[in-house]
Structure 1
């Protein structure tokens, strides 16, 4: 039992630090080759902070534990937009750009609603994976096209190339493979530890996945948002969380279900529905004033905590 808990803690630490190293090193290397900040953010940073979710989800599926794989993604989404966003907004209101409000949040809502309909049959199959992966790749291609042919001054500013003086060091080239190895081993530890804890306490793997594993794999997003809040860059927080959740649902679930279909239990549909509702509520909140106020943050935080408590209660029944 203690060994399984140690696996969970060690895995969470490796996921956290590994993802941090991957993002920093890969971003520095990308700048070395003159890649724009927009492309770095859309690809390296988004995928880097979502590496834990991807590897934990893929590992769980390959080990025949689909409940942890799907629960990890759904739980991470609710943790990001409920607990993390809510907590940060309670400290200081979180703003969102016009593009985020009119394009990115609706796209995330549409992807989650699509997945909710896909899993109604009890499985996220390979054909579903093709659709989700195509949506993800298409979105990145569209953003890349906007960067190459900006339609506004704001687009052009986002796509400006970084200075040639920002070059990668030897340390960055060494940290990239070390970070990837850390995330890989961390995902193995988290899945093994979570499964062991679930069996020891007689809890369902879904419950462990949607709470402990989801929180652990969301550590990169939590650290990024806290850092942005401390530095007074609250306008970056919502974009980071929305981008990460989009990659999780479209990219992670899409690629994973392409490799191996994910079985969905009937009880898991409720949390997927809740995830869709959270995005819808967030969209309503942000459209009213262009930001998430402290009171709205408190409601999101309460919803995230309430969902955790409900799952614990349901798992104990």
Structure 2
């Protein structure tokens, strides 16, 4: 029993480390390729970086669904969004006021609310079937189509403030920051492979620990697994904010949350229906409240102030408590 628990713990640590390393490599190479294609900063944050940092959620959620661990699958997505919007977004703003763009609030905040309302409505009966998954997945493609249409009208900036120095003050040429290299393509594939292996190890280890400790799979999915899969969002958003790229930081978190709800849950429930029981609904309601608060705070001023960041961290913690008690 002790040996098995230690092995599971090792799997969790190795899996989380693999998710972190793989996602960093994946995101860096993807961003460099996106810059090469001339995609604007906010759109990169909402699409390329959001998809890259959501890769752990994709892998973990689908792996859990295919192995019959639906509670871990859905709990991971709900818990990851709580972590992203509460602890990470709030923590970044707490470290320094975070500028907010009009597009982020009006367009992407609306997409986030639509995604969480759909998910909450579908989880009333404690399950996600293939029809509901297809609705979520179609909504994701509609959102991506909107972003693609609007991004074609946005000019590509020639410089990015703060990307080339430690203080975040000196504008630098984007070609120097993100010059495309042929190695970026194999790096992207290697990063994705490491994320896949790390995600599988994390799920196996976390479920083993939960079973040994008598903790429900929902709780372990919404807490330990969610924190592990959210590590890339935390690292990416914090680094982007420190380097003066607020659009990339905030866009990454909002975009990742939309991807998680529409893309991850949509694809997972299309592959196999997810029966998670009554624990999912109160947790999804708590997430809905958090998302509403995020959109309101982002829309009230031109920046997310430190006290608002502190409020999001507190609400995020309360959400985790709700998830724990619901499980």
TM-score (norm 1): 0.90
Encode CA deviations 1:246-266: one digit per residue, 9 max, x unaligned.
Answer: 011111111111111111211
Match of 1:307 in 2: 319
| Helix, strand or coil at the partner of 1:156 | coil
Match of 2:308 in 1: 296
Match of 1:45 in 2: 49
Counterpart CA distance in 1 for 2:246 and 2:180 is 27
Q: For the structure 1 residues 201 and 309, does the alpha-carbon distance in structure 2 shift closer, same or farther, using more than 3 Å as the test?
A: same
Match of 1:19 in 2: 23
RMSD across aligned C-alpha pairs, in angstroms?
Answer: 2.3
Aligned positions, number:
308
Select which of 26, 36, 39 maps to 2:39: 36
Query: How much has 1:31 moved relative to structure 2?
Result: 4.7
Show structure 2 runs of 5+ residues with no match. 160-172
Confirm or deny: 8 A CA contact 1:61 1:262 kept in the other structure. yes
Query: How much has 1:159 moved relative to structure 2?
Result: 11
Encode CA deviations 1:28-64: one digit per residue, 9 max, x unaligned.
Answer: 34555x3534665444322111000000000000000
Q: Write out aligned runs for 1:267-286 (5 A).
A: 267-286=279-298
Match of 1:219 in 2: 231
Q: Write out aligned runs for 1:1-317 (5 A).
A: 1-32=5-36, 34=37, 36-37=39-40, 40-148=44-152, 150=153, 155-157=154-156, 167-312=179-324
| Helix, strand or coil at the partner of 1:109 | helix
Q: For the structure 1 residues 91 and 44, does the alpha-carbon distance in structure 2 shift closer, same or farther, using more than 3 Å as the test?
A: closer
| Helix, strand or coil at the partner of 2:215 | coil
Counterpart CA distance in 1 for 2:207 and 2:182 is 38
Show structure 1 runs of 5+ residues with no match. none
Query: How much has 1:169 moved relative to structure 2?
Result: 2.8
| Helix, strand or coil at the partner of 1:50 | helix
Q: For the structure 1 residues 158 and 145, does the alpha-carbon distance in structure 2 shift closer, same or farther, using more than 3 Å as the test?
A: farther
Counterpart CA distance in 1 for 2:66 and 2:317 is 30
